Amino acid sequence: MIKLTAIEKYYENRVIKTFVLRNINLEVKEGEFVSVMGPSGSGKTTLLNIIGMLDAPSNGEYYFLDEPVHKMSEKRLTELHKTYIGFVFQSYHLIDELTVYENLETPLLYQRVNSNNRKGRVAETLDRFGMVAKKDLFPNQLSGGQQQLVAIARAVIAEPKLILADEPTGNLHSEQGKEIMDLLKKLNEQGTTIIQVTHSETNAAYGNRIIRLKDGWIEK
């Protein structure tokens, strides 16, 4: 599903080139659950952003479902990432001004799902995540765990093939964290490919493969 060859990422500030990722070669098959680990600043988020097409690599090739991402137009990229990829962030990134219901609805709006269909899918997702009672609340009226739940619900509502989760439990108690990890596991069992970044060995164990990053290199 994902194939990265010789991916590099660097930032040029005035004189120095700072490398964040070096010679990354990585393949992820459909249905995998991959955990990415590594110290802070090792390039995990950058890698996830590149896979999620939010950021472009400086060098190298990236094939997504056998399509060359590195040669794609901006429009096609947006198209791909909005149909195939869902994101979950450490700090949730819900829209503060919108209710739970409206937050869930937003990706469907951008995919031009018609109104009836949309209502159905939002209702179904609320039900599935047990949040029907909370649908009219705003993010700041929810606990951190509940907010992350909404964020995951928002990521899966568009039925992505791939979920990218950047430290999804980083801001949560271990109790809440476990709940989230169980949920991701369940989604993976239902067929969604998942790549998560985590600091916790326990959480990493939920996946079926661990990739360790250090100073931008993949540790063998």
Partner 1 sequence: MIKNYLKIAIRNILRNKVFSFINIAGIAVAIAVAGLIMLYVQYEWGYDRFYPNTNRIYLVYCKDPGNFFIGSDLYAVTPEPLGTAMKNEFPDIENYVTLGRWNKALVKVANRKVFEENILCATAPDLFKMFSYNFTAGNPETALSQPNTVVLSENVAHRFFGAEEPIGKTVEINIYGKTQVWTVTGVFRAMPNNSQFSSYGIVTSFDTYASTIADRKDSFQWGNNSWFTYLLLRKGTNVETLQAKFPLFVQKNIPASVEEGEEFFLQQIADTHLFSKANFGFGVAGNLSLVSVLSAIAIVILAIASINYMNLATARGSVRAREVGVRKVIGAKRSQLIAQFMGESMMLALTAGVIGLVLVEILLRLFSRLVGVDFGSGSLSHPSFVVGFLVVILIVGLLSGAYPALVLSMYRPAAVVKGSAKSGKRSSLRNVLVTAQFAASIALISCTIIILSQLNYIQTKNMGYNRQNIIVVPINLEKSIFQHVGMFEEKLREHSFVSSVTACSFLPIDIESNTEVHATGRTGSKNAQAYCIYGGYAFLKTFEIQIVEGRDFSSLVATDSSSGIIINQTLQKALGRDGTVGRMVNINGQRFRVVGVMKDFNLHSVRHKIQPLFYAMGGWRQYLCVRVQPGHIGPTISLIKTLWNRFGAQRPFTHTLMNDDFKKMYGNEERLSQAVSFSSGLAILIACMGLFGLITFSIERRRKEIGIRKVLGATVAEVVSLLSSEFLLVVMVANLIAWPVAFFLMRDWLNGFAYRTPLGLVPFIVAAITTLGIAGAAVGFHAVKAAMANPVESLRYE
Ligand X SMILES: Nc1ncnc2c1ncn2[C@@H]1O[C@H](COP(=O)(O)OP(=O)(O)O)[C@@H](O)[C@H]1O
CB of 96 to partner 1, least distance (A): 7
| Residues linked to residue 193 through DSSP beta bridges, in sequence order | 162
Give the one residue of 11, 79, 83, 159 binding ligand X; rule: CB under 6 A.
11
φ, ψ of residue 3 to 5 degrees: the values are: -135, 115
∠ CA 88-90-94, nearest 5°, is 60
Binding flags for Mg ion, 4-43, as an x/- string (CB under 5 A)? ----------------------------------------
Give the one residue of 2, 34, 43, 62 binding ligand X; rule: CB under 6 A.
43
Q: State the Cα–Cα distance between residues 132 and 148, nearest whole angstrom.
A: 15
69's CB contacts (< 8 A; 6+ apart) are 53, 62, 63, 77, 80
| Cβ-based nearer residue to ligand X, 40 or 116 | 40
**Contact in structure between 89 and 148 (CB atoms under 8 Å):** no
| Cβ-based nearer residue to ligand X, 20 or 158 | 20
CB of 219 to ligand X, least distance (A): 13
**Contact in structure between 70 and 18 (CB atoms under 8 Å):** no
Should residue 45 be labelled a site residue for Mg ion when binding is judged by CB under 5 A?
yes
**Contact in structure between 149 and 131 (CB atoms under 8 Å):** yes
Strand ranges, E, within the chain = 2-13, 16-28, 33-37, 59-64, 67-68, 85-88, 162-166, 193-197, 209-214, 217-219
| Cβ-based nearer residue to ligand X, 54 or 77 | 54
Q: State the Cα–Cα distance between residues 87 and 162, nearest whole angstrom.
A: 9
| Cβ-based nearer residue to Mg ion, 48 or 122 | 48
CB of 191 to partner 1, least distance (A): 21
41 binds, among Mg ion, partner 1, ligand X, none (CB under 5 to 8 A by kind): ligand X
Binding window for ligand X (CB under 6 A); candidates: 41-49, 71-79, 91-99, 113-121: 41-49
| Cβ-based nearer residue to Mg ion, 45 or 148 | 45
Question: Which residues are near ligand X by CB under 6 A?
Answer: 11, 18, 20, 38, 40-46
Question: Which residues are near Mg ion by CB under 5 A?
Answer: 45
